[in-house]
Amino acid sequence: MESQKLMPRGQRTSALPAGMIGGWRNTMPFSHPFFYAVAGLLIGTLVGLTGVGGGSLMTPILVLVFAQPPWIAVGTDLMFSAITKLAATASFGFSRRVDWRIVGRLAMGSVPASATVILGFWLARRTPGATDQVIARCLAVILAIAAIAMLLHNPLRRLGLKFTAAWLANAERYKLPLTVAAGALLGAGVALTSVGAGALGVVALLALYPLRLTSDRLVATDIAHALPITIMAAAGHAALGHVDLRILACLLMGSIPGVLLASRLTVRLPAPLTRTLIAVMLAVVSERMLFGR
């Protein structure tokens, strides 16, 4: 059947945990390769414009719209995000908008944390049902956290400015350990759910570096940091068989042109509007994954 052509081998008839997919299997007509390419174009454009959307939206889309198992959705999305963000990082790096010092600080925490989560998946590979449950629940929770964080975008920036102005010397002293800790949380979240590198990364950078990073440098730095942890996490999930290459190819046909075009645009979408819309979508998706029947 056409609706099952892009379902991963061995998963075409598998039942997901109750409440995770529920009535969304009636959306399987969208499994035509064209719809995957359209989804890739949409997410690639969002990533290039805002730095957000790779995991935050693509993983839920794969689970809820295309009815993919959560572990396949996470693994495929990580590989998708790694390749998409490679193109975006190359574009941003060419225009010298990446703060590589901050990227290095984040990576000191995120790379080891990501590797630890992948090692945990490898040790638990003989119990795929339990892994599926953990990924699905963690995905729903972290989407809710990302939605709240995006809605608190401006208060966090003001808090960061106040903190920096009042305790400039002390704030700078603690920036390194705080940045490493933030990177560790981001790395663990990305490896576990593919979510967090964009949505939560932007918020963390705003709180830690409110004066240092302008809007375009913020997006560029966040995407550049996401690249190594998504590559590592994607490689780990691929080794565990969590990546569907047919779906990946269709997504990339749309995402790479979208992210390259968006990253070169000088006109940006209104930031408050973009953040609010994405936060609402994340909150709705989180609620459906946690409580949907």
Give average pLDDT by consecutive 10-residue segment, the chain, 293 residues: 46 41 44 85 76 70 85 87 77 72 91 90 77 77 78 69 59 80 89 74 79 76 84 88 90 84 63 68 68 55
pLDDT of residue 60: 81
Number of domains in the chain: 1
Evaluate whether residue 13 is within a structural domain. Answer: no
CA 247 to each of CA 24, 30, 86, 149, 236: distance values in angstroms, whole numbers, following the listed order: 18, 12, 19, 30, 18
Evaluate whether residue 233 is within a structural domain. Answer: yes
Phi-psi region of 270 (alpha: psi -120 to 50; beta: other; left: phi over 0): beta
Q: How far apart are CA 110 and CA 229, in angstroms?
A: 7
Evaluate whether residue 121 is within a structural domain. Answer: yes
pLDDT of residue 116: 92
Domain coverage including residue 219: 31-291
Evaluate whether residue 24 is within a structural domain. Answer: no
pLDDT of residue 51: 59
Evaluate whether residue 21 is within a structural domain. Answer: no
Evaluate whether residue 19 is within a structural domain. Answer: no
pLDDT of residue 157: 64
Closest Cα partner for 8 from 238, 227, 203, 233? Answer: 238
pTM: 0.70
Closest Cα partner for 32 from 231, 246, 191? Answer: 246
Evaluate whether residue 3 is within a structural domain. Answer: no
Closest Cα partner for 287 from 151, 143, 134, 189? Answer: 143
Evaluate whether residue 87 is within a structural domain. Answer: yes
Alpha helices (H) in 124-166, listed in sequence order: 128-151, 153-166
